[in-house]
């Protein structure tokens, strides 16, 4: 058996030297699509781990947290660093998130606890058992359609479909509506190129909200056992969730359930072409599937950052942070922190322990982590069984986003 092969190509992303830090705009999607920031992150961790960043265009300054220990401190302290004004840089710089107080991801305190308790009913291993059982079958079916072709776009032909199918099964979205939702989720937080307008992203988000508004109204009258029905019929302290809460959390589930796994799965296949020794170890069964999944999540880090707002004057790693300051935690850096991960710039599918931050940490740890791991495991397991060799046949195309990292196109040949 031979491993993956890679044709000679120029780097997908151009490495930026530390000297570029002064002019860097981390809020610009092009920064992350065009550049490899590894040296920037390494320099910040070593010299300025809580870095004050002033973006272009007169937007507010924000703090950039790059070390693992500082990241987990922020994540564990919603009383000091709240999500209620938004949890991503774009919404924080725009002045806040309109879903604050209704979507669990941007709610703190008792209401967050109560909303999260409802969501955990949806995402318990028992509740997910039927969905997870279908994931592995879906992975094999998707690969069967492309293995042996002269070329396929793995991102488009395979990775785009498995996570969306799983989360749509969970939400019981009718099959005819799923292509519509895939198109909208791919536009809401990222784009396939630099030309997407802010209006297109706004419209995509509103289309998703409107769709789930109609679906939730129907499920409230005709409930089933799906996630939308659970939310639509849930009661907290004897009162039903508002329709805004139902719709906002459906929106959060469809985006979170699709984007992270899709980008991680695509990134895993690219990593196999770049690290043939790890593909061989995985293919030969020398590493466990569960450790491989967690290393893929650490290595790809699909969610580049999460954001918070300081609730009062405080200090972080000795740096004074004022009440109202925006604080961004860069998982992309924390997941490569030398103090937390031995030899962090080496892909090691057998790495253990592996306490990466790709699903966040603390009270806002991703409720869908179990499903996300199952989706990635389903595809990786199918690859191990069906594919002998992976050949990169063209240039991968990165997504354009300041929130997400990954590839919208990955041309490969999967040799059976």
Please, are residues 259 and 187 in contact by the beta-carbon 8 Å criterion?
Answer: no
> Would the pTM of this model clear 0.85, i.e. be above it?
yes
Angle at 358 between CA 183 and CA 155, to 5 degrees: 35
Residue 393 in tokens: 């046949």
Please, are residues 162 and 138 in contact by the beta-carbon 8 Å criterion?
Answer: yes
Name which of 9-18, 70-79, 96-105, 327-336 the model is least confident about.
9-18
Buried b (16+ CB within 10 A) or exposed e, 254-279: bbbbbbbbbbbbbbbbbbbbebbebb
The pLDDT value recorded for residue 205 is: 85
Residue 367 neighbours by CB distance under 10 Å: 24
Cα separation of 18 and 8, whole Å? Answer: 27
Residue 14 within any structural domain of the chain: no
Cα separation of 300 and 22, whole Å? Answer: 26
- Count of residues in the chain: 416
User: CA torsion sign, 291 to 292 to 294 to 298?
Assistant: positive
The pLDDT value recorded for residue 139 is: 94
The pLDDT value recorded for residue 241 is: 95
Residue 342 in tokens: 């031995």
Q: What's phi and psi for 119, nearest 5 deg?
A: -65, -35
Residue 19 within any structural domain of the chain: no
The pLDDT value recorded for residue 10 is: 57
**Is the pLDDT reported for residue 257 higher than 90?**
no
Q: What is the mean pLDDT of residues 292-308?
A: 98
- Cα 391 to Cα 7, 141, 395, distances in angstroms: 8, 20, 12
Please, are residues 157 and 170 in contact by the beta-carbon 8 Å criterion?
Answer: no
User: How many structural domains comprise the chain?
Assistant: 1
**Is the pLDDT reported for residue 25 higher than 70?**
yes
**Is the pLDDT reported for residue 152 higher than 50?**
yes
Residue-wise pLDDT for 189-234, tens only, equals: 655 667 667 778 778 888 989 999 999 999 999 999 899 999 999 9
The pLDDT value recorded for residue 283 is: 97
**Is the pLDDT reported for residue 244 higher than 90?**
yes
Burial of residue 43 (CB within 10 Å: 0-12, 13-18, 19+) is middle
Residue 47 within any structural domain of the chain: yes
Q: What is the mean pLDDT of residues 56-69?
A: 93
Q: What is the mean pLDDT of residues 137-145?
A: 95
**Is the pLDDT reported for residue 8 higher than 70?**
no
Residue 284 within any structural domain of the chain: yes
The pLDDT value recorded for residue 5 is: 53
Q: Is 402 helix (H, G, I), strand (E, B) or coil?
A: coil
Mean of the per-residue pLDDT values of the chain: 92
Q: What percent of the chain has pLDDT over 90?
A: 79
Residue 219 neighbours by CB distance under 10 Å: 23
Q: Which pLDDT band, with edges at 50, 70 and 90, does 132 fall under?
A: confident
**Is the pLDDT reported for residue 38 higher than 80?**
yes
Q: Is 15 helix (H, G, I), strand (E, B) or coil?
A: strand
Cα separation of 145 and 167, whole Å? Answer: 21
Please, are residues 288 and 350 in contact by the beta-carbon 8 Å criterion?
Answer: yes
**Is the pLDDT reported for residue 260 higher than 90?**
no
For residue 328, the enclosing domain spans: 28-415
Burial of residue 135 (CB within 10 Å: 0-12, 13-18, 19+) is buried
Q: What is the mean pLDDT of residues 288-301?
A: 98
CATH of the domain at 398: 1.10.630.10
Residue 22 within any structural domain of the chain: no
**Is the pLDDT reported for residue 58 higher than 50?**
yes
Name which of 149-163, 177-191, 368-382 the model is least confident about.
177-191
Residue 37 within any structural domain of the chain: yes
Name which of 63-77, 93-107, 174-188 the model is least confident about.
174-188
DSSP 96-149: --TTTTTSGGG--HHHHHHHHHHHHHHHSHHHHHHHHHHHHHHHHHHHHTTTTS
Q: Is 413 helix (H, G, I), strand (E, B) or coil?
A: strand
Q: What is the mean pLDDT of residues 20-32?
A: 94
**Is the pLDDT reported for residue 298 higher than 50?**
yes
Residue 407 within any structural domain of the chain: yes
Q: How far is CA 315 from the centre of its chain?
A: 28
| Tokens 């962090």 -> residue | 344
**Is the pLDDT reported for residue 6 higher than 50?**
no
Residue 203 within any structural domain of the chain: yes
Q: What is the mean pLDDT of residues 149-164?
A: 94
């Amino acid at each position: 058996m031979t491993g993956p092969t890679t044709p000679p190509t120029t780097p997908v992303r151009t490495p930026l030297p530390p000297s570029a830090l002064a002019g860097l705009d981390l809020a610009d999607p092009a920064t992350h699509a065009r550049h490899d920031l590894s040296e920037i992150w390494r320099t910040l961790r070593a010299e300025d781990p809580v870095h004050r960043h002033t973006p272009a265009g007169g937007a507010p300054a924000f703090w950039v947290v790059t070390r693992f220990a500082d990241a987990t401190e922020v994540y564990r302290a919603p009383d000091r660093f709240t999500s209620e004004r938004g949890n991503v840089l774009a919404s924080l710089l725009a002045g806040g998130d309109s879903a604050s107080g209704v979507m669990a991801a941007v709610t703190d305190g008792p209401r967050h606890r109560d909303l999260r308790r409802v969501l955990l009913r949806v995402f318990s291993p028992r509740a997910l058992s039927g969905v997870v059982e279908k994931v592995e079958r879906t992975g094999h079916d998707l690969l069967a359609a492309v293995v042996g072709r002269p070329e396929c776009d793995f991102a488009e032909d395979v990775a785009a479909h498995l996570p969306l199918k799983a989360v749509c099964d969970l939400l019981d979205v009718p099959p005819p509506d799923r292509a519509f939702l895939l198109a909208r989720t791919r536009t809401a937080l990222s784009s396939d190129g630099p030309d997407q307008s802010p209006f297109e992203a706004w419209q995509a988000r509103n289309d998703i909200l409107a769709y789930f508004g109609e679906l939730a109204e129907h499920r409230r009258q005709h409930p089933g056992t799906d996630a939308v029905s659970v939310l639509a019929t849930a009661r907290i302290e004897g009162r039903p969730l508002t329709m805004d809460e139902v719709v906002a959390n459906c929106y959060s589930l469809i985006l979170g359930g699709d984007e992270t796994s899709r980008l991680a799965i695509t990134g895993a296949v690219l990593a196999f072409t770049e690290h043939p020794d790890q593909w061989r170890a995985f293919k030969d069964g020398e590493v466990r599937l569960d450790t491989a999944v967690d290393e893929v999540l650490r290595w790809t880090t699909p969610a580049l950052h999460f954001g918070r707002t300081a609730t009062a004057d405080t200090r972080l790693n000795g740096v004074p942070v004022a009440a109202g300051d925006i604080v961004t935690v860069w998982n992309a850096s924390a997941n490569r922190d030398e103090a937390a991960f031995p030899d962090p710039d080496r892909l090691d599918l057998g790495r253990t322990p592996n306490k990466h931050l790709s699903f966040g940490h603390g009270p806002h740890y991703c409720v869908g982590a179990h499903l996300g791991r199952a989706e990635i495991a389903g595809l990786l397991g199918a690859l191990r069984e069906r594919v002998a060799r992976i050949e990169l046949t063209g240039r991968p195309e990165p997504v354009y986003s300041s929130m997400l990292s990954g590839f919208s196109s990955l041309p490969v040949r999967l040799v059976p």
